[in-house]
Amino acid sequence: MPEIKVVENILDANDQIAARTRQQLDALGVVALNIMASPGGGKTSVIMQTISALKDEARIGVMEGDVVMIDVEKVAALGVPVTLVNTGGNCHLDANMVSSALPSLPMDALDLLIIENVGNLICPAAFQLGHHVNVVIASVPEGDDKPYKYPAMFRGADVLLLNKIDLMDYIDFRLDYFRHGVEVLNPGVAFFPVSCKTGEGFDAWLDWLRARVAQRSATNEA
């Protein structure tokens, strides 16, 4: 009896759905971010800061991967369309969840789609969603060894934000050690040290994102 590779089959089906979603987003000229971090890393805080800074420049929609409405309500209070992608307690979003949630948002009236994945540094790294950019958020209180413990997550990052740098003076965090671990896995990854509390570093991240959205818009118009 031949071996049945269940995991490979599941990922292949997921990737096919993700490819269709990516085509849909490309046709609409929408840039999609997949925001990943461990619990407490600051995903929602970064998303809210980003929305507050850019909502008058770009049309933004948000998908929240969760089982409760807490973060959905926070984002909705900023005046942008948001939908809950109920994960049913799973440790990650998958392409089918994201594809099924697209009709809940005014996709033809968006420039930027922000997907907040489940708080986890393992499972989300394995699943394509149809997005364009993997944004990984690490934070100073988590420690400087995260790239060494979770290489798949950091290897797959297009952008890495190191959050809560305002705590650097109070926590034994070796920035050089952290950066070395990242560079070995992902040389040249876009890296932005930021603080949601003070706003430090956000201008560089926002400028990077502005350029990405403008590039997509120009490509779509062409």
Give the pLDDT of residue 5.
53
Give the pLDDT of residue 164.
98
Give the pLDDT of residue 15.
94
Read off the pLDDT of residues 63-76 as tens digits, 9 standing for 90 and up.
999 989 999 999 99
Q: What is the mean pLDDT of the chain?
A: 94
Task: Answer whether residue 6 shows pLDDT above 70.
Answer: no
Which residue in the block uniquely carries the two structure tokens 């997949």? 34
Tokens of 174: 């070796």
Q: Give the pLDDT band (50/70/90) at residue 219.
A: confident
Task: Answer whether residue 7 shows pLDDT above 60.
Answer: no
Write the CB contacts of 202 (distance below 8 Å, at least 6 apart in sequence): 49, 50, 53, 194
Write the CB contacts of 48 (distance below 8 Å, at least 6 apart in sequence): 74, 75, 78
Selection from 77, 73, 83 nearest residue 110 by Cα: 83
Question: Under a CB-based contact definition with an 8 Å cutoff, are residues 185 and 125 in contact?
Answer: no
Tokens of 109: 């009236």
Instruction: Sketch out the chain's domains with CATH numbers.
Output: 6-216 (3.40.50.300)
Read off the pLDDT of residues 21-46 as tens digits, 9 standing for 90 and up.
999 999 999 999 999 999 999 999 99
Task: Answer whether residue 3 shows pLDDT above 70.
Answer: no
Tell me which DSSP letter residue 222 carries: -
What is the average pLDDT across 182-205? 97
Question: Under a CB-based contact definition with an 8 Å cutoff, are residues 91 and 66 in contact?
Answer: no
Give the pLDDT of residue 175.
98
Give the pLDDT of residue 218.
77
Neighbours of 197 (CB within 10 A): 14
Residue 173: burial class (beta carbons within 10 Å; 0-12, 13-18, 19+): buried
Read off the pLDDT of residues 100-115 as tens digits, 9 standing for 90 and up.
999 999 999 999 999 9
Task: Answer whether residue 2 shows pLDDT above 60.
Answer: no
Q: Give the pLDDT band (50/70/90) at residue 12.
A: confident
